[in-house]
């Protein structure tokens, strides 16, 4: 039986390799390889495309937007994201345009330090911690994949079968039966909503947030989290002269849903010390991205032959900065399983392999967010600060646990 299994895996891998070669030469897949449709060309979808290429597996990728433009913002990538990028063969390109960070500090709004963590010390030194412009990461992921993206294309309807999914899209040339459909559509995945119509698949935490990038020559800053009760102001360096800022506040009244974002920010954080004060002084609304903090109700992995990955599977609070990292790990895992197993078995193996790590990540990331309402009480904020002083920065404590978990 073992010999038969080894021969089967070798045969599957050879077919995938031949399929990719034929596709690149003639644009045609061979019959024995699975038809895979990736819906979404963001970080998750592009990562899967790269990983499938590595494994010699043909795919079709669609994107609802008309172009590959991406909103300018910052992104932080912890050690496990870099480890995944190395396996994808993209780490060198990313590190060449990224900014390495060496420590993280939590403070009160006054600037008084609550806790500090050295990111160069074990077990966090398994690889680099970096921050970079999100556009730059997206551009790297697009390399070699962009010509194959079917832009301005959506799945209009689908019909699951016992061994596939019949898809009708806005591009009739792509209609037909697929052995696997992958939702890499983000937190508001249409496919996830249609697969689970009986439940609300996302949670709104009543936390509006604002993100912006500012020029600050020779700032000399490392990642800093400034805390009050429910207010958070975070600073992450993208370069020696550029900073990525994230701010949020708990708000059940929706008082910040309209009006000027810059005015709201200056009012909310008026009592915060440096660097928040000076960074907010001259920003204008055109540079601010406003959204709300949302999570999936629980991680979603599959429904029949439809698989979820990235934020479509496990969107959660950015505490551990695992959004992109999880997408990279999802992509590597799914591609590996597809290279070695029949599609149905690969889907099950994907869920079984990823669920312990992803379930823990979502629960750990969202736990402080679910408690933030209690921080409106000074006693709640006092207890939180004492926990931080004892355990260290919340994200660093989570990263230490993540570093010990198997992939």
pLDDT by residue (tens digit) across 230-256?
999 999 999 999 999 999 999 999 999
- Model pLDDT, residue 10: 44
Check whether residue 209 and residue 285 sit in a common domain.
yes
The CA distance from 386 to 391, in Å, is: 9
Residue 129 sits in the same domain as residue 277: yes
Do 129 and 149 fall within a single domain?
Answer: no
Domain count within the chain: 2
pLDDT at 16: 47
Indicate if 220 and 186 belong to the same structural domain. no
Residue 111 has what DSSP assignment?
Answer: S
Helix 323-340 to helix 343-370 angle (10° resolution) is 160
User: What is the rounded average pLDDT for all residues in the chain?
Assistant: 92
Q: Across the strands, what pairs with 215? A: 242
Contact, 68 vs 149, CB < 8 A? yes
Considering the domain architecture, whether residues 123 and 209 belong to the same structural domain is answered as yes
User: For the whole model, what pTM was predicted?
Assistant: 0.92
The least confident of 80-89, 159-168, 272-281, 369-378 is 369-378
CB atoms under 10 Å from CB of 387, counted, come to 15
- Determine the pLDDT at residue 30: 45
Same domain, 227 and 98: yes
- pLDDT at 9 > cutoff 60: no
Residue 24 pLDDT class (50, 70, 90 cuts): low
Cα-to-chain-centroid distance, residue 29: 30
What pLDDT is attached to residue 373? Answer: 87
Asked if 384 and 310 sit in the same domain, the reply is no
Tokens coding 58 = 């043909």
What percentage of the chain carries pLDDT values higher than 90?
A: 89
- Read off the pLDDT band of 52 (50, 70, 90): very high
Residue 311 lies in a domain: yes
CATH code of 89's domain: 3.30.9.30
**One domain, residues 288 and 392:** yes
Instruction: Please list the helix, strand and coil fractions of the chain in percent, rounded to the nearest 5, in that order.
Output: 45, 25, 30
Range with the poorest average pLDDT among 25-29, 275-279, 321-325? 25-29
For residue 18, the model assigns a pLDDT of 54
CATH of the domain at 145: 3.50.50.60
State how far the Cα of 196 lies from the Cα of 83, in Å rounded to an integer: 33
Confidence class of residue 14 from pLDDT cuts 50, 70 and 90?
Answer: low
pLDDT band at residue 31, thresholds of 50, 70 and 90?
very low
Q: Is residue 159 in some structural domain? A: yes
Q: Are 88 and 374 in contact (CB under 8 A)?
A: no
Q: What is the pLDDT of residue 169?
A: 98
Verify that 146 and 122 share a domain, yes or no: no
Domain identity same for 339 and 391: no
| CA 223/CA 234 separation, integer angstroms | 7
**pLDDT of residue 69 exceeding 90:** no
As separate numbers, helices (DSSP H) first and strands (DSSP E) second, the chain gives: 13, 19
Q: Read off the pLDDT of each residue in 274-294 and give the average, rounded to a whole number.
A: 95
Burial class (CB in 10 A: 0-12, 13-18, 19+), 284: exposed
Q: Is the pLDDT of residue 3 over 50?
A: no
Above pLDDT 70, what percent of the chain?
Answer: 92
> What dihedral angle (degrees, nearest 10) is formed by the CA atoms of 30, 33, 39, 45?
-100
What whole-number distance in Å separates Cα of residue 15 and Cα of residue 295? Answer: 39
Eight-class DSSP state of 358: H
Work out the angle at residue 243's Cα, subtended by the Cα atoms of residues 257 and 370, and round it to the nearest 5 degrees.
45
162/216 same-domain check: no
pLDDT in tens, 287-308: 999 999 999 999 999 999 999 9
Average pLDDT for 48-68: 96
What domain range includes position 21? Answer: 2-70+139-201+296-365
Q: Identify whether 272 is part of a domain.
A: yes
């Amino acid at each position: 039986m073992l010999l038969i299994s080894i021969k089967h895996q070798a045969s599957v891998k050879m077919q995938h390799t031949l399929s990719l070669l034929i596709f690149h030469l003639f644009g045609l897949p061979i019959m024995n390889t699975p038809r895979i449709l990736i819906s979404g060309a963001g970080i998750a979808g592009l990562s899967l495309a790269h990983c499938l290429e590595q494994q010699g597996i043909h795919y079709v990728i669609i994107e609802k937007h008309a172009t590959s433009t991406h909103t300018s913002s910052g992104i932080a990538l912890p050690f496990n994201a870099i480890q995944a990028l190395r396996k994808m063969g993209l780490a060198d390109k990313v590190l060449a345009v990224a900014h390495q960070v060496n420590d993280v500090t939590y403070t009160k709004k006054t600037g008084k330090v609550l806790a500090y963590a050295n990111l160069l010390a074990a077990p966090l030194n398994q690889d680099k911690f970096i921050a970079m412009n999100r556009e730059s990461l997206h551009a790297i992921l697009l390399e070699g994949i962009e010509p194959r993206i079917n832009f301005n294309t959506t799945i209009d309807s689908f019909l699951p079968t016992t061994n596939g999914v019949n898809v009708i899209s806005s591009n009739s040339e792509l209609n037909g039966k697929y052995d696997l459909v992958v939702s890499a559509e983000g937190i508001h995945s249409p496919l996830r909503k249609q697969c689970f119509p009986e439940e609300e698949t996302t949670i709104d935490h009543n936390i509006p947030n604002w993100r912006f990038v500012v020029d600050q020559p020779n700032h000399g800053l490392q990642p800093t989290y400034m805390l009050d009760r429910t207010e958070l102001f975070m600073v992450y360096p993208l370069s020696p002269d550029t900073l990525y800022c994230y701010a949020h506040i708990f708000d059940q009244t929706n008082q910040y849903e309209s009006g000027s974002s810059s005015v709201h920010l200056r009012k909310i954080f008026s009592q915060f010390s440096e660097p928040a004060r000076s960074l907010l002084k001259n920003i204008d609304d055109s540079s601010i991205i406003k959204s709300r903090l949302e999570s999936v109700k629980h991680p979603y992995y599959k429904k029949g032959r439809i698989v979820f990955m990235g934020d479509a599977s496990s969107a959660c609070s950015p505490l551990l900065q695992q959004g992109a990292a999880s997408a990279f790990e999802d992509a590597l895992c799914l591609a590996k399983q597809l290279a070695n197993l029949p599609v149905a078995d690969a889907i099950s193996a994907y869920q079984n392999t990823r669920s312990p790590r992803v379930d823990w990540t979502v629960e750990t990331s969202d736990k402080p967010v679910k408690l933030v309402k209690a921080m409106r009480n000074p006693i709640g904020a006092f207890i939180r600060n004492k926990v931080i002083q004892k355990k260290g920065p919340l994200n660093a404590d989570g990263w230490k646990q993540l570093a010990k978990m198997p992939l």
